Amino acid sequence: MYPQAMCDLIDIVDGTREKRKGEAIERLSAEELKALLARYHPDYREAAFRNLRVGVNRGDRTTHEIADLLEAFSDLDHSKIDLRPEYDTDVLVLGGGGAGVTAALFAEGMGARVVLATKLRLGNSNTIMALGGMQVSVHESDSPVRHFADTMAAGKFAGNRKLVKTMVEDGPRIVQWLLDLGVDFDRDGEGNLAVKGGGGLSAPRIICIGDYTGLNIMKVLKDQIRQVEGIDVFEFSPAVELTTNEFGECNGAVLYDLGRKRHFVVRARAVVLATGGSGRLHMQGFPTSNNFGATGDALVLAYRAGVRLEGVDSFQYHPTGVMFPEHMVGVLVTEALRSLGAHLVNAKGERFINELETRDACAAAIIRECERGNGVGTLSGAKGVWLDTPLLEETQGKGFLKGRFPSLYRHFMRVRINISKQPLLVYPTLHYQNGGILIDEKGETTVRNLFTAGEAAGGIHGRNRAMGNSLLDIFVFGRRAGLAAAKRKYNEAGNVTLNHVHRYYDRLKALRISSTAKSPTLFPEFIVNKL
């Protein structure tokens, strides 16, 4: 329920709705876009970044939050860990989201023995929160090449062409795989996969399952992993360090059993790192849409093992994160609302950006409005702008929001906000790590036998990810990583050592870096900071 002070502000939005309906806002020119981003997008705020002093990417720019973790020692007393493996397997998958489960299923399908370890419960991931849908070129006006072009353009041409081509070409095949597993994507009248348009897309390309796309895919994948024989799942067992053999090749991981508070080692012929992104590091103090476990562990573990990172100075701030009520701060409001024509409106009741601009442009424009004093304040002093949802109810018909966005509608009805009558207060929320661990088309990193898939991987999305491409990327590269990792099952795993960590520590010490930060983070430390 909005407090009275905010209801008065909502009256302004209601008052200008009729006028705004007829308004058309020009798309930004290339120069305008550049200027907007440079001035207001968090990725361009130089004070928030520094150059790494150690490791493969020495000299590269990243956020303080990530640099702090990469230039840190572990909490773990390595001398006290028993490195004799408690489990020996072919493929060790770290991470229980869409990418990890896909990798595990494909590796198992190739006859590999698989251990899947995850920090929280299997499936507790950002995958389930992918609401809007998944990009795949199936519409007749569309093509894989067009999908490639849109993805490259959205990423400001910083994405790796080969990886993008791989993703868009594998797209239709991976959808077929999901359909075969019993994922029920929405269909149109002729039984085709129904496709929607979206910001930055030149053809309708978003396939979905209501507004619960990721969740419904993950439900099926979780069910499938229960049905196959060759996968052991360890829940509540985050990885705290990778292990390497005498040649510096990855051969397992040290896991931490949260329940029994002890470490144990899993040795493997190949490791798939799929532990997701880093939203819970709350870069630059932004709220985040990410799940509880998204603390950037993959970057830390893999960097110590010697991988090259790519583009870890670029993050996606989703323009429409909830700002009110406060216990929902950071939670995502799907982009589909803007695609369908919901306006972004400032405190004066004015639009200030074409809502179909890419995510980075919309986010920067919202930050601009708030910095110019056109933001809407909450009681606790937070600022945001309105997302005019009642407008959709007028243009698309009564009951539209409840029917088309049932989960969103219900989540707000629980707090007595009726989105068909009242707008939502939104502000950019830290949503996605655009960069990550550099991979090749097989999903392999620059460290042999270490594969990466999903948000932890980098090189695909360039400097801005288009809507619906991450849900595609996790399955495409999860599959590829799983298949390639399974082929390593005849490898000699070699001795389990932490030599790479000791080498890394030596370099830190030589540079007189003595950080008090401890990494990996595993869990966000101080959560109730909203008080």
Partner 1 sequence: MKGDDAIITVELEGRKIKVPAGLTVIEALWDTGHDVKRGIGCLSGLCGACTVAFIEKESKKVRFGLGCQKVIEEGMNVIMIPCFPCRAARYSLEAMENPLEKLKELYDELYTCNDCRACNICPEWINVAGVMRAAMAGDYESAAAHVTDCIMCGLCASRCPKNIAPHYVALYIQRALARERPSPPNLGNRLEEIESFRYDGEWSRVAAMDDEALKEFCASMVGR
Q: Where are the alpha helices (DSSP H) in 228-373?
A: 297-305, 336-339, 359-371
Within 8 A by CB and 6+ apart from 59, the residues are: 51, 52
- Output the smallest distance, CB 465 to partner 1, in A: 16
Within 8 A by CB and 6+ apart from 104, the residues are: 91, 93, 114, 116, 225, 231, 272, 482
- Applying CB under 8 A, which of residues 9, 215, 513, 517 lies at the interface with partner 1? 215
Using rule CB under 8 A, residue 184 touches partner 1? yes
Using rule CB under 8 A, residue 433 touches partner 1? no
Question: End-to-end distance of the chain based on CA atoms, in angstroms?
Answer: 19
Task: Please tell me whether residue 412 adopts helix, strand or coil conformation.
Answer: helix
Size of the site for partner 1 (CB under 8 A): 79
- Output the smallest distance, CB 178 to partner 1, in A: 9
Q: Select 49 or 236, whichever has its Cβ closest to partner 1.
A: 236
- Please confirm, yes or no, whether 282 is among the known catalytic residues: no
Using rule CB under 8 A, residue 182 touches partner 1? yes
- Applying CB under 8 A, which of residues 32, 223, 232, 246 lies at the interface with partner 1? 223
- Applying CB under 8 A, which of residues 39, 173, 260, 509 lies at the interface with partner 1? 173
Q: Which stretch binds partner 1 (CB under 8 A): 43-51, 217-225, 459-467, 492-500?
A: 217-225
Within 8 A by CB and 6+ apart from 386, the residues are: 10, 13, 344, 345, 346, 376, 423, 424, 425, 426
Using rule CB under 8 A, residue 427 touches partner 1? no
Using rule CB under 8 A, residue 406 touches partner 1? yes
- Applying CB under 8 A, which of residues 123, 276, 428, 520 lies at the interface with partner 1? 123
- Output the smallest distance, CB 512 to partner 1, in A: 35
Using rule CB under 8 A, residue 378 touches partner 1? yes
- Applying CB under 8 A, which of residues 153, 197, 418, 518 lies at the interface with partner 1? 153
Q: Which stretch binds partner 1 (CB under 8 A): 64-72, 213-221, 459-467, 491-499?
A: 213-221
- Output the smallest distance, CB 508 to partner 1, in A: 29
Q: Which residues, 1 to 60, sit near partner 1 by CB under 8 A?
A: 3
Structure tokens at 327: 């216990």
Instruction: For residue 92, count other CB atoms closer than 10 A to its CB.
Output: 32
Is the CB of residue 130 less than 8 Å from the CB of residue 211? no
Within 8 A by CB and 6+ apart from 142, the residues are: 195, 203, 204, 205
Using rule CB under 8 A, residue 518 touches partner 1? no
* From 267, 318, 461, 465, active-site residue: 318
Q: C-alpha distances in angstroms, 388 versus 9, 413, 467? A: 12, 16, 20
Question: Tokens 């251990």, residue?
Answer: 115
Using rule CB under 8 A, residue 210 touches partner 1? yes
Q: Which stretch binds partner 1 (CB under 8 A): 65-73, 76-84, 116-124, 434-442?
A: 116-124
- Please confirm, yes or no, whether 338 is among the known catalytic residues: yes
Q: Select 143 or 396, whichever has its Cβ closest to partner 1.
A: 143
What length does the chain have? 531
- Output the smallest distance, CB 210 to partner 1, in A: 5
Question: CA 503, 444, 221 angle in degrees (round to 5)?
Answer: 120
Query: Binding pattern to partner 1, positions 311-330, x when CB under 8 A?
Result: ---------------xxx--
* From 338, 351, 461, 488, active-site residue: 338
- Applying CB under 8 A, which of residues 45, 146, 402, 442 lies at the interface with partner 1? 146
Q: Which stretch binds partner 1 (CB under 8 A): 74-82, 126-134, 239-247, 308-316?
A: 126-134
Q: Select 304 or 318, whichever has its Cβ closest to partner 1.
A: 318
- Output the smallest distance, CB 370 to partner 1, in A: 18
Using rule CB under 8 A, residue 190 touches partner 1? yes
Query: Binding pattern to partner 1, positions 68-97, x when CB under 8 A?
Result: ------------------------------
State the amino acid at position 222 in one-letter form. K
Question: Tokens 């992993």, residue?
Answer: 225
Measured distance CA(99)–CA(479) in Å, rounded: 8
Strand partners, 250: 244
- Applying CB under 8 A, which of residues 63, 66, 105, 165 lies at the interface with partner 1? 165
Checking 401-410 for CB contacts under 8 A at 24+ apart, the result is: 404/211, 405/211, 405/334, 405/336, 405/337, 406/210, 406/211, 407/131, 407/210, 407/211, 407/212, 408/131, 408/211, 408/333, 408/334
Q: Burial, 260: exposed, middle or buried (Cβ in 10 Å; 0-12, 13-18, 19+)?
A: exposed
Q: Select 106 or 504, whichever has its Cβ closest to partner 1.
A: 106
Which residues are marked as active site?
318, 338
